Amino acid sequence: MFTDWLRKVFKNIVGPIARFLGRMGLSANGLTILGCLLTVAVSVVIATGRFRLGGLLLIATTAFDALDGTLAREQGGSTRFGAFLDSVLDRVTDSAILLGVAWWYMGQAGRIEEMLAYAAIVGSMLVSYTRARAEAMNIECKVGLFTRVERTLVIIVALIVGLVEPALWVLAVGTWLTTIHRMVHVYQQTKRQPALSGK
């Protein structure tokens, strides 16, 4: 998976930075919360139409997503609450970025980008939800192209180079196709299992 490849590539960079932040007294959960707050602040910048600046700032804030997990491992391993907090705040930041884009386009007459952004938000939530529900059933469900890393890269590049409208189409369609892919995957994994009693 592309996400795993990125982790390997940046492992030697992220590790020392995470250890430095740990020596400064930061906890992994604190880093997760800080990254979320900064990303929400960047979404406000995006909502004002300063897309290129927002894209550049997102490069910095998304680094927290790699650092908090690495810092958790450096400090003895991720806790159950830490993993839960990270997952919830990831959904907050994903939604905030696209909401910022939608907010800007809502002020532009005759545009459909705000609807595409809404479709991408819902699709992103469903991509994560299908994985969470599958894993609750003890089924690994990492299939599909538009995982969080890919979605983040698409929106950052689009903001910087000025291709936001095509990117919204890609995200809106891609997240829903990934959701369907995961539903089919779970169906294939469960169709030979005995039915559960009740609903």
Catalytic residue set: 90
Q: How far is CA 171 from CA 18, 51, 57, 66, 178, in A?
A: 31, 17, 20, 22, 10
CA gap 124, 96 in Å, rounded: 12
- Sign of torsion over alpha carbons 34, 36, 38, 40: negative
**Which residue from 83, 71, 75, 51 is spatially nearest to 163, judged by alpha carbons?**
51
Cα 1–Cα 155–Cα 128 angle in degrees, nearest 5:
50
Q: Which residues contact 112 (CB under 8 A, 6 or more apart)?
A: none
Q: Which residues of 109-139 are buried (b: 16+ CB within 10 A; e: fewer)?
A: eeeebbebbebbbbbbebbbebbeebeeeeb
